[in-house]
Amino acid sequence: MDEIMDVLASAISYASRMGVEFAEIRIERTRFTRIELRDGVINVSSGIDYGAAVRVYANGSIGFAFTTRVSLDSLRRALEQAHALARAAPGKQTKPMLFDPAEDFYEHPVKRSIEDVPIDVKLKDVMELDKLVAEKDFVKSRFIVYNERSEERYYASTEERYLGEKRELVYLYASLFGAEAGVRGSAHITQGTIKGYTLWEKMSQEKAAGELLGRLQRQLRAKTPRAGNFPVVIAPEALGVFVHEAFGHLAEADLVEAGSALQGKKGQQVASSLVTIVDDPAVDDGFGTLRYDDEGVKTAKAVIVEKGIHRQIMTDRIHAALLDAKPTGNARAESFRYPPLVRMRNTLMLPGDHSVEELFEGIEFGYYIVSTAGGQTNIDGSFQVGVEEAYEIVNGEVGEPVRNLSIVGNTLETLLNIDAVAKDFGLFYGRCGKGQLVYVSDGGPHVRVRKMTVGGRE
Residue-wise pLDDT tens digits, 101-152: 999 999 999 999 999 999 999 999 999 999 999 999 999 999 999 999 999 9
CA dist 82 and 122 (Å) reads: 42
pLDDT band at 455 (very low <50, low <70, confident <90, very high): confident
Distance of CA 376 to the CA centre of its chain: 16
pLDDT at 212 over 80: yes
Given pLDDT bands bounded at 50, 70 and 90, which one contains residue 456? Answer: low
Q: What is the DSSP letter of 196?
A: B
The Cα–Cα gap between 305 and 97 comes to: 24
Helix (H, G, I), strand (E, B) or coil at 75: helix
Residue range 380-410, pLDDT digits in tens: 999 999 999 999 999 999 999 999 999 999 9
Which of these, 2, 317, 322, 9, lies nearest to 158 by C-alpha position? 9
> Of 197, 207, 186, which is closest to residue 128 (Cα–Cα)?
207
198 in the same domain as 324: no
Mean pLDDT of the chain: 96
Domain boundary among 172, 198, 221: 221
Q: How confident is the model at residue 1 (pLDDT cuts 50, 70, 90)?
A: confident
Residues 402 and 1: their CA atoms lie apart, in Å, by 54
Task: Read off the amino acid at residue 196.
Answer: G
Residue-wise pLDDT tens digits, 263-277: 999 999 999 999 999
Torsion angle of the four alpha carbons 444, 450, 451, 452, in this order, in degrees rounded to the nearest 10 = -10
Closest CA to 102 of 329, 297, 328: 297
Same domain for 297 and 373, yes or no, is yes
279 and 138 assigned to the same domain: no
Residues 185 and 244 in one domain: no
- What would the pLDDT profile of 285-334 be if each residue is shown by its tens digit? 999 999 999 999 999 999 999 999 999 999 999 999 999 999 999 999 99
Please return the burial class of 338, using the count of CB atoms within 10 Å of its CB with bins 0-12, 13-18 and 19+.
Answer: middle
174 & 298 share domain:
no
Q: Is residue 421 within 8 Å of 354, Cβ to Cβ? A: yes
Mean pLDDT value of segment 234-260 = 97
Domain span at 417: 228-455
Chain centroid to CA 384: 19
Report whether pLDDT(420) > 70: yes
Q: What DSSP line would sit under 94-137, residue for residue? A: PPPP----EEEEEE---SB-GGGS-HHHHHHHHHHHHHHHTT-T
Q: How far apart are CA 416 and CA 410, in angstroms?
A: 10
The pLDDT > 70 percentage for the chain reads: 99
Q: Do 432 and 244 contact (CB within 8 A), yes or no?
A: yes
- DSSP assignment of 332-361, as one string? E-SSTTS--EE--SEEEEPP-SB-HHHHHT
Domain match, 169 and 252 both = no
End-to-end alpha carbon distance in the chain: 59
- Per the confidence metrics, is the pTM higher than 0.75? yes
CA–CA separation, 25 vs 71, rounded Å?
12
- Whether the pLDDT of residue 89 is over 90: the answer is no
Question: Does residue 144 share a domain with residue 246?
Answer: no
Q: Is 389 left (phi over 0), alpha (psi -120 to 50) or beta?
A: beta
Strands (E), 194-260: 228-234
Give the total number of structural domains in the chain. 2
d(CA 402, CA 226): 9
Contact 196, 110 (CB under 8 A): yes
Same domain, 11 and 82: yes
Residue 73: how many other CB atoms lie within 10 Å: 11
The widest CA-to-CA distance across the chain, in whole angstroms, is 73
Q: Is the pLDDT of residue 457 over 70?
A: no
Last residue of a domain, one of 221, 245, 265: 221
Q: What is the pLDDT of residue 91?
A: 86
Average pLDDT, integer, range 32-61: 97
What b/e sequence results for 377-392 when a residue is b if at least 16 CB atoms lie within 10 Å of its CB, and e otherwise? bebebebbbebbbbbb
Residues 199 and 237 in one domain: no
Q: Report the CATH number that the domain containing residue 189 is assigned in CATH.
A: 3.30.2290.10
My answer on whether 29 and 171 are in the same domain is: yes
Side chain identity at 112, as an amino acid letter? R
**63, 204: one domain:** yes
403 shares its domain with 308: yes
When pLDDT is averaged across residues 46-75 and rounded to a whole number, the result is 97
Q: Which of 203, 221, 239 is the last residue of a domain?
A: 221
pLDDT digits (tens, 9 = 90+) for 404-417: 999 999 999 999 99
pLDDT of residue 458: 45
